[in-house]
Structure 1
């Protein structure tokens, strides 16, 4: 593959995408003017946080409930590098929750969908912040929101 086509998801394709637009600023780049590899991760997290916020789940509330959602696994593939000044669309969607694991899928692409820059999968787990232990059940507000997410069209 040349890296210029959109790669169809090999994961669960039924879930809707949440779209989060970004523009490459100078502080997102390395010395060559290309986006630094860690910036893509920052954009994916911002998209995930905003997706959850759109469903009424604010991270501030999670912290107040004593819950955190840390990343426990990540896989990322860089197809093409974005350059300073470019616009892109970070597409995020939650896949089917498996036990305590909350998997997400991402695509970072040109706004017109013609160029694919990055694809990734990220897995989160819910953790009791005080005890540092994985929660076997999500707080009710989070569970309700994630259930809504599975059926929401963005």
Structure 2
């Protein structure tokens, strides 16, 4: 596969990661709008991609038996619907970092209109489900990405 054949990784603009998404028929419900749970899928893909691009190797930590991230808390607000064929942008910003968690604010937009925004707390847990400290290299990355401005 060439670079052109690879899935979109989005890109960082300053400290904000931007990930494009297209709405397909499978994403919509009977009313023709995006089913509410699919916004969570869009945000999950954007967060995972952001972390990978930033240098956080979740897979290596998981495969070494050291743990994995879980969504420990999620606050989401739906403001306006997305529809079939819409081009959306998921913007992700690190807004808080703790020893075992990271807080990421995400918005799903169509052009300048915010359709959905969420505050996601991801906690690193052991295979037994207990919180554990994030690797120092990860917290250093998060500190560099920490959003200094106010978020919506």
Q: TM-score range by the shorter chain?
A: 0.7 to 0.9
1:78-132, CA deviations, whole angstroms, 9 ceiling, x for partnerless residues? 000100100110001111213433111011111x32x110011011111011x32
Distance 1:99 1:143, change over 3 A: closer
Q: In the aligned structure 2, how far is the partner of 1:96 from the partner of 1:132? A: 22
Alignment of 1:148 onto 2:140: no
TM-score with structure 2 setting the length: 0.80
1:134 pairs, out of 131, 134, 138, with 131
1:12-70, CA deviations, whole angstroms, 9 ceiling, x for partnerless residues? xxx83210000001111111211000000011111110101111223311312322110
Higher relative contact order (CA 8 A, sep 6+): 1
Gaps of 5+ in 2: 1-13, 148-152
Quick check: 1:49–1:58 contact (8 Å CA) kept in 2? no
> Secondary structure of the equivalent of 1:34?
coil
> Secondary structure of the equivalent of 1:73?
strand
Distance 1:143 1:64, change over 3 A: farther
Quick check: 2:23–2:86 contact (8 Å CA) kept in 1? yes
TM-score with structure 1 setting the length: 0.79
Aligned length: 133
> Secondary structure of the equivalent of 1:70?
strand
Q: In the aligned structure 2, how far is the partner of 1:128 from the partner of 1:144? A: 20
Distance 1:109 1:38, change over 3 A: same
CA root-mean-square deviation: 1.8
Q: In the aligned structure 1, how far is the partner of 2:63 from the partner of 2:144? A: 22
Structure number having the greater strand percentage: 2
Gaps of 5+ in 1: 1-14
